[in-house]
């Protein structure tokens, strides 16, 4: 995994609650629309670089999954 990407994702997600982080991960892994979710989209919008800001790149998804596993696992 790209350590730089992991660091960026971890930094962006550091202030999310555990529930917000879990919801963000679910949205990302299922390619769901992130807008209007439990988390503040403005705080995480830089992670959604595909399809006009509605989907994450696969490398970002992998980094997010690693962040979630470390924090919630």
pLDDT tens figures, 34-60: 999 999 999 999 999 999 999 999 999
72 in Cβ contact with 19 (< 8 Å): no
Tell me the whole-structure pTM to 2 decimals.
0.94
Phi, psi of 70 (to 5 degrees): -65, -40
Number of domains in the chain: 1
32 in Cβ contact with 26 (< 8 Å): yes
Q: How many residues does the structure list for the chain?
A: 73
The C-alpha atoms of residue 42 and residue 19 are separated, in whole angstroms, by 17
pLDDT at residue 61 tops 70: yes
For residue 73, name the pLDDT band (cuts at 50, 70, 90).
confident
For residue 68, name the pLDDT band (cuts at 50, 70, 90).
very high
**16: domain range?**
3-72
């Amino acid at each position: 995994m790209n350590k730089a990407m992991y660091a960026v994702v971890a930094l962006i997600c550091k202030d999310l609650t555990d529930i917000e982080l879990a919801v963000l991960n679910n949205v990302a892994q299922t390619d769901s629309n992130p807008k209007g979710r439990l988390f503040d989209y403005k705080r995480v919008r830089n992670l959604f670089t595909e399809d006009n800001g509605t989907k994450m790149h696969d490398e970002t998804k992998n980094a997010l999954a690693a962040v979630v596993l470390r924090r919630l696992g």
